[in-house]
Amino acid sequence: MPWFAKIEKGIVEKTIFDQYVPDHIAYVQELIAKGHKAQTGYWKKHQGGMLLFEASSMSEAQKIVAQDPLIKNNCVSYEIYQWCIVAE
């Protein structure tokens, strides 16, 4: 399955953002349980983060991202990219 990356930037105050982090983590764990090999994290010195995951298509990737609590609660702006691995 292809890999996708949601690159995001926070657009709300940290106190608001932090309210939805537990739900986001639970959602990522749900994706892992469904076989999407998801990983999530943030940039150490910059606002924002990334969600990496496998999906069958860009259409499925968009549907997965749309259900992320950080997206549903308008906490981040984002772009989705298909990530083409050249070495493992």
25-68 pLDDT tens trace: 999 999 999 999 999 999 987 778 999 999 999 999 999 999 99
> What is the C-alpha to C-alpha distance for residues 26 and 56, in angstroms, rounded to an integer?
22
Contacts (Cβ under 8 Å, ≥6 apart) of 79: 6, 7
| pTM recorded for the entire structure | 0.91
